[in-house]
Amino acid sequence: MTPPGRLLRIVPAAPRAVLALLALALAAPAGAQTLAVEDPVLRAIWREGTESSQAVEIAQALLDSVGPRLTGSPGHLAGNEWAVAVYRGWGIEARNEPYGTWRSWRRGPTHVDLIAPRMRTLEATMLAWSPGTAGPVEGPVVLLPEVADSAAFAAWLPGVRGAFVAVSFPQPTCRPDGNWEQFARPETFERMRTARAAALAEWGERVQAAGVEPADLAARLESAGAAGILTSRWSQGWGVDKIFGTRNERIPVLDVSCEDYGLVARLAERDQGPVLRVAAEAELLGEVPVHNTIARIPGRDLADEHVVLSAHFDSWDGASGATDNGTGTVVVMEAMRILQRVLPQPRRTIVAGLWGGEEQGLNGSRAFAEDHPEIVAGLQALFNQDNGTGRIERISMQGLVDAGRLFGRWIARLPTEITGHVDLDVPGMPGRGGSDYASFVCHGAPAFGLSSLSWEYGTYTWHTNRDTYDKVVFEDLRENAILMAMLAYLASEDPERMPREQRAIFPVNTGTGEPQRWPECQPPERSSAEDGR
């Protein structure tokens, strides 16, 4: 583990010319000095956030030095310690608050080579929590077979001993559909789509005929003595795969890029003798405490009422967790830094929550809401950011019928430079999951998601192997931090409490035909033993 003290130097080690370009990119927009806002605190927030932004420094240290923050991993703990140290360096109270335990796992190097019928180093990585290998392991590649029924599959299983089994559908093309639409004749594109759909249906029939539930397949192959399992979860874009986790205990499960998975699958299908050499290192470290990082600026008059700035801190670890949710983390931390500089004594207490375990079911924020009913009861507003690097463009009132009145008042006081593109969804629908605001909405508390522009988040960075520092759009990130800080200030100082009246009429659930209801709160999973996935 990198000593936390080394990560406190959040100055990017980059050439002078690169730093100059970054400074230019982060320069205050034209007209910043003539901001049409009278409130001196809003002007101070704008000036601090544009002229003295620390977004680049925070992001570089978090994403490059700390890196990915898989729940329970040493990287997550190092990140928690780093965040507390940074907050305290700014003069902000901060602590790491445990909410349970989780299985801990340390990723080591992964090297996968095709050694027959030719040599090629493959683009591949282990899934999270995968066992490694005991040194390099060589074995042939076999495809999930076409069988008549489960008995035939059981008869086939002994043949996987010592082999790497490819269990995912091999994509016939790794070009995104948009590329086909742009360059192919319409009839060519349509024939490709028709052929692909037929091949995918055939693969589905192959899996179904085996008579094994998808969740049980890896364990069956492991018990049969396979050397490893090959998967590929292509994200429908150039060079991107989704990287998640596994529950295997003895053999590695490897995600292989769309292109390289297709290569070994075609070789295996045509009996051309593909053989892999895999060297994958990993440490399974048992159950360890997991934490939320909590920072606090005490209120001067209404200390028992709270404004909460919210983002999940954990990530998947196929890349750096940059836009899911390093960017939300940076927005929260930068907003707190700005507020500490310009509003050291807010009327209401301002809390920043960097939640753990969001990717496993909002566990950190659900635990915090469960453990701190006084904060839920005294919540003036929670602002959550968790969907990529783009500028904030939409805020739902989460089914609170009168929340739009306060938001409208706040937005009207803010500079149009950062609010002219923001839409309010009034009254909106209460969130049932998806991000941490839902952990508070279910209690009827005023918690709001600050939704961002796409930047093709779902395809290229959400849970992928390409979610890295270079995907961050810092001008948007800086503006998001300013907006969050301004909303926190206005919510803190507003003489009126946020109304909690809930909408009475809900749309019909198309699945059940019954009217929807206000979401019920779900208990957090406080240990790996409770995780049924």
pLDDT value at position 423? Answer: 96
pLDDT value at position 532? Answer: 62
pLDDT, tens digit (0-9, with 9 covering 90-100), for 96-113:
999 999 999 999 999 999
Residues with pLDDT less than 70, the chain: 1-34, 532-533
Is 293 in contact with 313 (CB distance < 8 Å)? yes
* Separation between Cα atoms, residue 524 and residue 439, nearest integer Å: 9
Query: Two tokens at 181?
Result: 């639409």
* Separation between Cα atoms, residue 518 and residue 440, nearest integer Å: 12
Phi, psi values for residue 358, rounded to 5°: -65, -40
Query: Two tokens at 18?
Result: 């690169």
The separation between CA 233 and the C-alpha centre of its own chain, rounded to angstroms, equals 17
Residue 208: exposure state from Cβ atoms within 10 A (0-12, 13-18, ≥19): exposed
- Per the DSSP assignment, residues forming a β-bridge with 93 are 296
pLDDT value at position 533? Answer: 56
pTM passes above 0.85: yes
Residues 6+ apart with CB under 8 A from 488: 307, 309, 335, 339, 346, 350, 383
pLDDT, tens digit (0-9, with 9 covering 90-100), for 199-220:
999 999 999 999 999 889 999 9
The CA dihedral of 177, 128, 357, 299, to the nearest 10 degrees, is -90
Residues 6+ apart with CB under 8 A from 220: 157, 212
DSSP 322: I
Query: Two tokens at 223?
Result: 């018990």
DSSP 242: B
Domains parsed from the chain with CATH numbers: 37-103+287-493 (3.40.630.10), 118-273 (3.50.30)
The CA dihedral of 179, 185, 190, 193, to the nearest 10 degrees, is -30
Phi, psi values for residue 480, rounded to 5°: -65, -40
Is 480 in contact with 323 (CB distance < 8 Å)? no
Q: Where would I find the H helices in 9-121?
A: 16-25, 40-51, 55-60, 74-89
Residue of 111, 123, 120 whose CA lies nearest to 257: 123
C-alpha dihedral sign at 322, 323, 325, 329: positive
Cβ density class 73-104: b for 16+ within 10 Å, e for less: bbbbbbbbbbbbebbeeeebebebbebbbbbb
The one-letter amino acid code at 353 reads G
Query: Two tokens at 215?
Result: 């969740």
Phi-psi region of 362 (alpha: psi -120 to 50; beta: other; left: phi over 0): left
Phi-psi region of 218 (alpha: psi -120 to 50; beta: other; left: phi over 0): alpha
* Separation between Cα atoms, residue 36 and residue 495, nearest integer Å: 23
Phi, psi values for residue 198, rounded to 5°: -65, -40
